[in-house]
A and B are shown apart, each in its own frame.
Chain A
Amino acid sequence: MNEPVPTLSVENLAKRYRAQHGTVYALRDLSFDIPAGHSVSIVGESGCGKTTAAFCIAGLQSIDAGAVYLAGEKFSGASRGVQKRLRKDFGMVFQNPLSALNPRMRIWQSVAEPLRVHDPAVTPLTRQRQAEAMLEQVGLGKQHFQAFPGEMSGGQLQRVVLARALILDPRLVILDEPTSALDVSIQAQVLNLLQELKSTRPLSYLFITHNLALVEVLTDRVMVMYAGRVVEAGPAAEVFAHPGHPYTRELIQAIPDANPGKRQTFPSIEISPVQQAANSGCAYRLRCPHAQTDCAETVPQLGPQARAAACLHPLQ
């Protein structure tokens, strides 16, 4: 049978940097699909490559290997015209809402920008009406339309960025740490808004975050990244309940539990940069309590199954 084309398809994406001691891979062998209507999270700590992945997929950074397909059409490496057309189909929300908006443009103008770029035939007045309608949909009232970004709070600004990302009715929204800069109570508001939007339109999210607790709120599948590679992938609930990769387990155990009854003990020794990533074999082996000799020789591969861990000696 004909499978419907996935909204986003990423194949073997890689990004290199030249450093003093040779080439460093910020991203390597990233492959996944987001079927229409589904959402996927990428989690990891700083330097794991998740933000690089977001920027590479969005075409904001050049890639060194692999390809990105949007609704079946090749996006990476395509001509400027093709890329511009395909950009109508995805929007992007960034971590810092204040710097994601031009400080000298009123927020309705920022939201109307995609309309201006892709549909020059539309009159400015119509653009303004459409932008204002979109702003209302994300919960901002009339009093904000003419405001400048500097006059609004972080939570409000993130709604503006969201409105701009959605105004062309895209199929995919890439969310790069959208709530990291926001307070807990505002974060809840924004996440609820994202949930609501997803349920009322055919929308998929690629959700990048370092906060594992947010994954299940927005997405069904999760990919855990470490040192540029995906080390575990699968349905979020399963991965968190029964992690296969030791790093996933370390991440889960490090989250402070908001239940004082369950006192956790945390390790106290510093993770030195040397221990952050090894050069040969499995990158995690220097930190891994289960590392064995073969871990230094072979790079574990992530299997193609729906639930997989890139580990030679997975847990369970």
Chain B
Amino acid sequence: MPLLRKEVVKAEEGEIFDVELSKDILKANQLLAEENKELLHKNRVRAIDVMGAIGSGKTSLIEKLVQQLKNKHRIAVFKGDLTTTIDAELIARHGVETVAINTGKECHLDANLVKKALLKLDLNKIDLLFIENVGNLICPAEFPLGSDKRVVVISVTEGPYMVVKHPFIFMDVDVVAINKVDLAKAMGTDVTKLEKDVKTINPEALVVATNCRTGEGVDSVARALQL
């Protein structure tokens, strides 16, 4: 019976060899996002991403949601911005724990920044976390953070083509708030057209028309998020 031999193949000097790697670079963020989600679930915290265009009303929506829900839920908010704590302070004045995440120059939050921000919170003391991303309809779509549901806020003042021009972010979203509907007429923006565009891309997305100044429609956003 032949002896079993263990052979090791080695490349010789100057020889070229091929290495199969199959390493996914974007996976690193996805794995961190999964870890965040696990940590949040272990502590029974539901997390909601709030994404959307610059100036569309993400912070206003969160403020109104906080006002409506703070007696029902123990809420914390992560507020992403390049710099300043201006918006974080707007939210904090409603008496909820707020962590400002300043990305410096990065145009979106990533799972690592959220992981670091989670260390600042006592997760036993909350059951609902809003994560407001940097105003941007492009990059946040590529970087999941570990949330359970995702909201995108757009507003009529950005014009009638906001959805069709940024289709990707709407593929991965649960609720879309079309904000500043009180200005739709003055802007000549058709809210039903925007809604139709969202539904074309993602038939399951729930679309709500809001005016986050007055609070109109915000209860529907909360319901759509099952809060």
Q: Do A and B come from one complex?
A: no
Interface set of B (CB-CB < 8 Å, partner A): none
